[in-house]
């Protein structure tokens, strides 16, 4: 039995060893990486002459995210067209290593060399300011001389480019109302607040609502209970003489579920101790869920006026 186990161990170890086969070497510094870096610099700057000098006549590039079964990639003219389009339509173009990533050159034992890059492409559309930012993973395959790029395979986040294409269109994303049942709920919030009823003020808020206060410095948001406590403390120090609408609220009913009510208010406050009066401007964005409850509020004001 002992001999049988020993033989099994030997066979397993031998099998694991047999599965290894050195097929080449990986370099983080290599002449082909320098060629790829030159290609990247030329691509970003729109240097067509340099790009043409770095690729073969039979160069083909492939977008690996393209799932069209008839897709055959693009040639040198497509590469030049893409480069010129970026040069003529984009500003602030960069293509840099992503985080701690760096290029790898794989030198296979058959002599072929692949260079892999892991980068971030960033650019701004000069016509509308839209920012495109996407990871870009690329594979550069060199010719037999290992001096020119014969194939380029790249992958971007297609959603980033889709969003950019839409940015040049006029697209409706919902309806704006200046009067709406949910605007009535917003007005009730401030009606109850001016009457000093904290519980009624927040009755249309979801129990797990988040409050994003522009004056927060130590965290992103506070809970509904924390907001109730904050408002109660303000009411201890100030009497709310009046709260008046500035203009009128807008309810943005987005396509799909949910919407947001935007409103602007002027608070007239009286300090309970000093009798001093102050005016406080407030902008509120109340986000309603599918149940018609306020699940989030973004509120902007100058908290220094409440000192």
C-alpha count within 13 angstroms, C-beta hemisphere, residue 46: 11
Q: Which has the minimum average pLDDT: 1-10, 24-33, 237-246, 254-263?
A: 1-10
pLDDT in tens, 234-290: 999 999 999 999 999 999 999 877 899 999 999 999 999 999 999 999 999 999 998
Q: Mean pLDDT over residues 172-182, rounded?
A: 94
pLDDT at 16: 55
**Residue 255: CB partners within 8 Å, gap ≥ 6?**
172, 173, 174
Q: What pLDDT band is residue 6 in, cutting at 50, 70 and 90? A: low
Q: Is the pLDDT of residue 3 over 90?
A: no
Q: Is the pLDDT of residue 100 over 60?
A: yes
Q: What pLDDT band is residue 5 in, cutting at 50, 70 and 90? A: low
pLDDT in tens, 145-167: 999 999 999 999 999 999 999 99
In the chain, % of residues over pLDDT 70: 94
For domain 174-306, give the CATH number.
Answer: 3.10.450.50
Q: Mean pLDDT over residues 138-151, rounded?
A: 97
d(CA 247, CA 215): 24
pTM over 0.95: no
**How does the average pLDDT of the chain come out, rounded?**
93
- Quickly list DSSP for 85-118: HHHHHEEEEEEEE-TT---EEEEETTS-EEEEEE
pLDDT at 76: 97
Looking at the chain, which residues constitute the CATH 3.10.450.50 domain(s)? Answer: 24-167, 174-306
The CB density around residue 222, as the number of other CB atoms within 10 Å, is: 17
Nearest partner of 128 among 91, 95, 180, judged by Cα: 91
For domain 24-167, give the CATH number.
Answer: 3.10.450.50
Nearest partner of 153 among 38, 81, 63, judged by Cα: 63
First to last CA, the chain: 85
Q: What pLDDT band is residue 184 in, cutting at 50, 70 and 90? A: very high
Q: What pLDDT band is residue 17 in, cutting at 50, 70 and 90? A: low
């Amino acid at each position: 039995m002992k001999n049988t186990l020993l033989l099994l161990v030997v066979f397993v170890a031998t099998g694991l060893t047999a599965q290894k086969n050195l097929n080449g070497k990986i370099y983080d510094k290599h002449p082909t990486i320098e060629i790829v870096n030159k290609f990247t610099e030329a691509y970003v700057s729109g240097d067509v002459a340099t790009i043409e000098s770095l690729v073969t006549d039979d160069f083909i590039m492939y977008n690996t995210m393209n799932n069209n079964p008839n897709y055959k990639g693009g040639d040198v003219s497509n590469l030049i067209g893409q480069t010129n389009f970026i040069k003529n339509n984009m500003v602030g173009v960069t293509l840099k290593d992503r985080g701690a990533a760096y290029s790898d050159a794989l030198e296979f034992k058959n002599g072929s060399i692949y260079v892999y890059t892991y980068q971030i492409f960033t650019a701004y559309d000069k016509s509308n300011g839209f920012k495109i930012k996407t990871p870009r993973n690329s594979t550069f395959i060199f010719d037999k001389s290992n001096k020119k790029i014969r194939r380029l395979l790249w992958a971007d986040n297609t959603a980033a480019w889709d969003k950019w294409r839409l940015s040049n269109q006029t697209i409706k994303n919902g309806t704006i109302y200046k009067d709406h049942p949910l605007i009535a709920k917003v007005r009730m919030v401030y009606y109850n607040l001016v009457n000093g009823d904290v519980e009624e003020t927040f009755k249309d808020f979801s129990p797990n609502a988040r409050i994003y206060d522009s004056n927060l410095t130590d965290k992103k948001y506070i809970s509904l209970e924390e907001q109730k406590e904050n408002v109660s403390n303000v009411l201890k120090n100030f009497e709310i003489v009046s709260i008046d609408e500035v203009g009128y609220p807008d309810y943005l009913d987005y396509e799909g579920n949910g919407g947001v009510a935007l409103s602007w208010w002027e608070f007239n406050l009286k300090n309970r101790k000093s009798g001093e009066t102050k005016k406080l401007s407030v902008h509120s964005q109340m986000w309603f869920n599918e149940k018609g409850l306020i699940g989030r509020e973004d509120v902007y004001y100058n908290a220094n006026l409440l000192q």
